Amino acid sequence: MNIDITNFKTSKLTQTQFVHPVKITYLQDGQPRVWEAVKSHDSVSILLYHTQKDAFVLVKQFRPPVYLTDKNFLFTYELCAGIVDKNCSLEQIAKEEIFEECGYEVNIKDIQKISSFFTNVGISGAKQHLYFAKVDDSMKINEGGGIHTEQIELEYLKTSDAKEFLYDESKAKTPGLMFAFMWYFDEYNRT
């Protein structure tokens, strides 16, 4: 993926579409407390396993907040994922994200729930719902890459390289991806 980042700057957020900064005031043990937070959407993420390649299908993309924190990381490696912003089942949203981001048509009954957990607990506390699905070449309908302004590149990571990848700090990755890999090796791959 070739990308050129220039003129990178921050400004105050006044009108928001996906996140909403809030100030929270409350009493804890009778003492007044103040917390700054961001209300955001819950999300789904999917660990995709390509059976013919014996590889995980990862999404590689530019994430401005990561770049803001550390300019050494131009890309992140993530699971296929998306926000919960419509009134349908989580599995349906997962199916749509697999198609949009990765180009695979997966039957909704073949999307297996792994677990749910909270992310960014100090700032947003949004819930992420983690799923697993298998894909193969016969299910590939399009190139994926996302919709609208998304610029997503797919990476196929051999399962034999995944454990080393987990601890490779030169690659920016999410805790959800790391947890999903550990689940695969600990639970799924054991059976």
Contacts of 24 (CB under 8 A, 6+ apart): 34, 35, 36, 37
Coil, helix or strand at residue 160: helix
CATH superfamily of 41-188: Nucleoside Triphosphate Pyrophosphohydrolase (3.90.79.10)
Break the chain into its structural domains and give their ranges.
Answer: 41-188
Do the beta carbons of residue 183 and residue 47 sit within 8 Å? yes
Q: What is the pLDDT of residue 29?
A: 86
pLDDT of 95-145, one tens digit each?
A: 999 999 999 999 999 999 999 999 989 888 899 999 999 999 999 998 887
pLDDT of 29-54, one tens digit each?
A: 888 888 888 889 999 999 999 999 99
Do the beta carbons of residue 37 and residue 20 sit within 8 Å? no
Mean pLDDT over all residues of the chain? 91
**What's the rounded Cα separation, in Å, for the pair 143 and 101?**
8
Q: What is the pLDDT of residue 148?
A: 72
Distance from CA of residue 156 to its chain's centroid? 16
Residue 3 burial (CB < 10 Å; 0-12/13-18/19+)? Answer: exposed
Token pair for 78: 């993530």
Q: What is the pLDDT of residue 190?
A: 62
Q: What is the pTM (predicted TM-score) of this model? A: 0.89
Residue 92 has pLDDT above 90, yes or no: yes
